Amino acid sequence: MPASDPALAGAAAVALTGLAEAYRPRPVTPLMPWRYPHRLVKPYVITARGRQWDDHMVEVARATATRQLEFDDAMGALGLAVVVLHLGDDAIYLVVQSWSKDFQSRLSIFSGMEADDLRPAPIGAGPCIWEQEVLSHERASYVTHILGAGVDIDAWLDDALDTRPQPKLDGIPSGT
């Protein structure tokens, strides 16, 4: 174990080391934007190893997100939002973030064992490390294309995070 600050010795150091050894990036798949009257949404799907998504899961997530976004609209949302459907190891999560007035955002999280079971997450729940990757990208995209570029909606929509493995185009095809 590498040397660390004494404040993080013992159990904390062991826990951090275990997390570091267990962490693996997860593919982020951007979906086609969802267009509503007065609202644009950039949806994503994150999948843990061995998990697969289908159109039904996305439609259920969209319906849940739509209800939340309608509430956000009533609370001052500005019409741009990001939705992350995360098929994790232990459950399914849905993160809904809408940009609102005064440089704020509204963040709602839902969870369930299946897409059909999505319910509001317990108070205090926050996005996990993989969901934060998408939200971090989307914060930068919002600042670059909306706040810093005179509201370039097309550039914002085109700026989607995609971390899916890319096929290697050189050498002998391996089938993976």
pLDDT in tens, 127-163: 999 999 999 999 999 999 999 978 999 999 999 999 9
CA atoms within 13 A on the CB side of 134: 30
Least confident window among 9-18, 69-78, 100-109? 9-18
Q: What percent of the chain has pLDDT over 70?
A: 91
pTM passes above 0.85: yes
pLDDT of residue 1: 46
CA distances from 95 to 1, 22, 56, 122, 141 (A): 35, 23, 17, 13, 17
Residue 35 in this model has a pLDDT that exceeds 90: yes
SS3 98: strand
Distance CA 110, CA 102 (A): 25
pLDDT of residue 172: 65
CA distances from 159 to 42, 51, 95, 137 (A): 10, 25, 19, 9
